[in-house]
Amino acid sequence: MAENAVIQTQGLSKSYKQTYALQSLDLTVHQKSIFGFLGPNGAGKTTTIKLLLGLIRPTAGSATVFGMDSVRQSVDIRARIGYLPQEPHFYEYMTARQTLHFTARFFFKGPEKAIEERVEEMLHLVALADKADRPLKTLSGGERQRLGIAQAQVNYPDLLILDEPAASLDPIGRRDVLEVMSKLRKYTTVFYSTHILDDVQRVSDTVVILNKGKLVAQGPIEELLSGSEGVIYTVHLKGDVDAAYQKVKSQPWVSGIKAGQQNDDAAWQVSVNDAEAAETQLLKLLVDGPVVVTEFRRKQYDLEDVFMQVVEGGQDGRK
């Protein structure tokens, strides 16, 4: 097992008859990280989470959580986990307070006072204290989601697994959930699935992208955002662009130039194979020539670019 690994899967697969819901997933989640599990609907995110929790069994491969086997030691694993399902379903005859009390009792025998204090703390954490004694059926979708976060956190878990925690929340609710996740980083490892790219970019350390049951990209968020096409500079120019084009093209560290037009300017995408040489020489080359540089920047990817590349482009490799 890798050092500090909380979750580790090897060839983890799940199929239903002939259809693969998850295909040979190799994954390592390190301690105290916020691990974003990204993919379109049906990518296999929830299947992976259910496999880790022992709610379903793998058809091949294995998973360990805290070094324990997800099939044979499922109950022991769950004693150290907090889990928020994608659509939380609680007993409708309970109130929010009773739901948290019931959840806490799976972990704690007593003392009763300490359990009540923990329940109260959780109600305040998710701002449900004023609605704690109402029947659950009177709570809105967002309030139920917040209750879901509270019940997942009630045991101060070593690993928090959240399945689409912000999917049904309004922007303020989403922001609150992301803030809670960021705060928890100090105490726990957060493994969460989402299809909201912006959330992942805001809080995650490491990202995995799944598509059609397969892992298509994995790595630290900065690494993924640096792109898979290498370093590219975006340059906008005015003047004698043909001469400048030849000059730049002849450089050994330039691997290609994609030329286009934007308004009255020439717009280039300069691909380089030596980032250091490009950084020190490219702009100098241009400003010394017969052109006016109106824009010059190293292209930054956002997660949406990466996601669209690997999902729509059908990439089947690993970072």
Partner 1 sequence: MAGNSAFEMVSERGWRRGLANLLNNEFGRWWRTNRWWSQALIWAGMIGFLMGAVVTQAGMKIEDLAMLYCIFASLGPSIAITIIMQGAVVGEKQSGTAAWVLSKPASRPAFILAKLVAGSLGSLGSMVLAPGLVGYGILSYATGKLFNPLVFLGGLGVIWLVILFWLAFTLMLGTLFKSRGAVIGISLALLLLQQNLIGLIRPLQFVLPWTLVVPLNDSNDAIVPNLLLGRPVTSFLPLVITLLEILIFVAISLWRFEKEEF
Positions that interact with partner 1 (CB under 8 A): 50, 53, 55-57, 75-76, 78-79, 81, 83, 85, 87-91, 93, 102-103, 105-111, 114-115, 118, 155-156, 186-187
Half-sphere exposure of 207 toward its Cβ, with a 13 Å CA cutoff? 29
The tokens describing 124, both together, are 């305040």
Per the listing, tokens 């957060």 go with 190
CB of 80 to partner 1, least distance (A): 9
Per the listing, tokens 């954490």 go with 125
CB of 169 to partner 1, least distance (A): 19
Residue nearer to partner 1 on the CB measure, 111 or 171? 111
Q: Are 302 and 201 in contact (CB under 8 A)?
A: yes
Residue nearer to partner 1 on the CB measure, 161 or 215? 161
* β-strand pairing of 291-298 with 231-239: antiparallel
Residue nearer to partner 1 on the CB measure, 20 or 107? 107
CB of 151 to partner 1, least distance (A): 9
Residue nearer to partner 1 on the CB measure, 105 or 238? 105
CA neighbor of 84 nearest in space, from 175, 194, 230:
194
Task: Report the first-to-last Cα separation within the chain, whole angstroms.
Answer: 21
CB of 55 to partner 1, least distance (A): 4
Listed in sequence order, the residues at least 6 apart from 260 whose beta carbon sits closer than 8 Å to its beta carbon are: 266, 267, 268, 269
Residue nearer to partner 1 on the CB measure, 58 or 289? 58
Residue 16: strand pairing partners = 19
CB of 105 to partner 1, least distance (A): 4
CA neighbor of 20 nearest in space, from 78, 60, 80:
60
CB of 102 to partner 1, least distance (A): 6
Other CB atoms within 10 A of residue 165 CB = 29
Q: Are 307 and 268 in contact (CB under 8 A)?
A: no
Residue nearer to partner 1 on the CB measure, 100 or 270? 100
* C-alpha–C-alpha distance, residues 83 and 309, integer Å: 31
CB of 258 to partner 1, least distance (A): 49
* C-alpha–C-alpha distance, residues 278 and 271, integer Å: 9
Other CB atoms within 10 A of residue 274 CB = 15
Residue nearer to partner 1 on the CB measure, 92 or 264? 92
* C-alpha–C-alpha distance, residues 64 and 69, integer Å: 5
CB of 46 to partner 1, least distance (A): 11
CB of 91 to partner 1, least distance (A): 6
Half-sphere exposure of 291 toward its Cβ, with a 13 Å CA cutoff? 26
Residue nearer to partner 1 on the CB measure, 97 or 118? 118
Residue nearer to partner 1 on the CB measure, 33 or 98? 98
